[in-house]
Amino acid sequence: MTTYYSEDHEWISVDGDVGTVGISDYAQKALGDIVFVEVPDVGASFAKGDDAAVVESVKAASDVYAPVGGDVTEVNGALEDAPETVNSDAGGAGWFFKIKIADASELDALMDEAAYKTYCDGL
């Protein structure tokens, strides 16, 4: 599996033509204690950059954008009862949704882990 990152701090871990999407550890730290997560519906279609989910913390509400276009195949329903999972495991159990990637070439515009770290260090 390969993981990519967006400038908006979403990550997508790609396995074949399906990507698992979440927010980065950097983003969850910036947001603080997460108190609510709204995931999209299974079957929803998004273009790259569309608002796909919402995460709310004690500090702010923030949109989660689709890092690539496609159709949602699965959502992490556990976040409804345990949104704090995003704080404790942003890159693992705190994932938001899975998307069937419509155009794999959209991944080319995203960063790998090293480039994302450099990007964050410059913020």
Radius of gyration of the chain (CA): 13
The number of beta carbons lying within 10 Å of the beta carbon of residue 55 is: 25
Minimal CA–CA distance to 21: which of 90, 82, 78? 90
Is domain 2-102 given the CATH code 2.40.50.100 in the classification? yes
pLDDT of residue 105: 98
Mean pLDDT score of the chain: 97
What pTM did the predictor assign?
Answer: 0.97
pLDDT of residue 91: 96
Sketch the domain layout of the chain as residue ranges.
2-102
pLDDT of residue 6: 98
pLDDT tens-digit map of 2-43 = 999 999 999 999 999 999 999 999 999 999 999 999 999 999
Q: Which residue has the tokens 């556990």?
A: 78
pLDDT band of 46, cuts 50, 70, 90: very high
